[in-house]
Amino acid sequence: MNNKLKHDAFPEDFLFGVATAAYQIEGAHDEDGRKPSIWDAFSKMPGRVHNGDTGDIACDHYHRWQSDLDLIQSMHMNAYRFSIAWPRVIPNGTGAVNAKGIGFYDKLIDGCLERGIQPFATLYHWDLPIELHGHGGWTSRITALAFADYASVIAKHFGDRLASLTTLNEPWCSSILSHLLGIHAPGEKSIEATVPAIHFLNLAHGLGVQAIRAESSVPAGIALNLHSVYPADNSDENRQAAQRFFDFHNGAFLDPLFRGSYPQSYVEGLSTYLPEHWQSDLADMQQPLDFWGLNYYTPARVMHDANAKYPSCKQAPVPDGALKTDIGWEIAPEAFGDLLTYVYDNYNLPPCYITENGACFNDEPVAGKVQDQRRIDYLEPHLGQIAQVTANGLPMKGYFAWSLMDNFEWAEGYKMRFGLVHVDYETQARTIKDSGHWYSALVKAHRNR
């Protein structure tokens, strides 16, 4: 193990784990009553996903879950963060519950507990049942109400065995990336759709928390992929642009959830697109949470753009000499610490889990080993930032590396690899990479302190 980062830099009760998502690993897309999600449809549309890849088989985790849990156990993990597939449990999005879908997660959760792994479940990681998309998807209040019913089912069935239950993973991706930038399902490019999607995702979260609390005492929270935002320079123009970028990309979620309002610039810029009676939903969005999750990968650098509509900014150049991952994302661990410090200085937040952090490096096996030192070089200083902000008094509770294994990487298909474990998609063979061994050694040392 690299000796720069010491296991005792983290509190004794700090949890280390790995993370995955249902559509990215499960496969079995039409087995045991599961019906299609928007990603099943989107991935089969020409030109939407690299190489025409789909999640039909993915990592075949649906059939290999026992050996995958054995793998997690062998890596000494305290916890496993996974998502539950809504279309596997309630195939139409509303109505009848699928007993075989419930049964799969019963086995998975019990399998975690039998191996001494704490199960951290996420209700929604982007696989919206296709039936709900026919009713407007996230642009419709119907979906927020359906989500609350789904949350109630899951809390009732599993709440007594889960370490936590997260409502939404990265609502920014389900709204802005999916409805404005058109990169993720359903692939729209419409501000008229984006603003309602943001709103009803926020509402779904709030109603979901209420539904969870009505059925269970399981700790409840949300996972947000916040941007650490830096202006291109210190000019008033660019600093104001950076604030508008923050308001749109971060504040549109942070403010309703933790302040009970939308940012002023957001309302001024986009109020015409907000749904009817939006103000009356704000109280439901702002629910007391037991924790929140932060997913962090890379910073955002922005500058003013007078020709663009709100938030009237564009991407600024990455600093000269900056390192990047194989997906092209700037590596800036100090931005991670800056972001955590900023949000705790400006919002009244509960304790935090880093629910995702990791890097894409596409190293392949050589003589049965995957030497991915670049991933270790990414992970170590990012974990170091967590140790630093924890020492400074921030309530950091745990860290989940993204990802346990290489998987279906959404619009990038199987081209990009984020795993600590290499997956051969032809044979489904799993090979722990050097980074996986490094992380495992850190966790083992922490557990044995």
Residues annotated catalytic, as ranges: 170, 356
Q: Which DSSP string corresponds to 240-257?
A: HHHHHHHIIIIIHHHHHH
d(CA 258, CA 38): 29
DSSP character for 317? P
105 CB burial (10 A radius; 0-12, 13-18, 19+): buried
Q: How far apart are the first and last CA of the chain?
A: 15
Give the largest Cα separation in the chain, rounded: 62
Beta-strand (E) ranges in 228-349? 229-231, 292-295, 300-304, 313-315
d(CA 209, CA 268): 29
For 33, residues 6+ apart whose C-beta sits below 8 A from its C-beta are 88, 91, 98, 99, 100, 101
At 231, is the secondary structure helix, strand, or coil?
Answer: strand
d(CA 354, CA 58): 25
- What phi and psi values does residue 34 have, to the nearest 5 degrees? -65, 135
- What phi and psi values does residue 431 have, to the nearest 5 degrees? -130, 120
DSSP character for 59? T
Segment holding 22, helix H or strand E: helix 22-25
At 316, is the secondary structure helix, strand, or coil?
Answer: coil
DSSP character for 410? G
d(CA 20, CA 152): 22
Beta-strand (E) ranges in 91-217? 118-124, 164-169
Looking up tokens 């709204």 gives: 175
Alpha carbons within 13 angstroms on the beta-carbon side of residue 243 total 10
Contact 275, 196 (CB under 8 A): yes
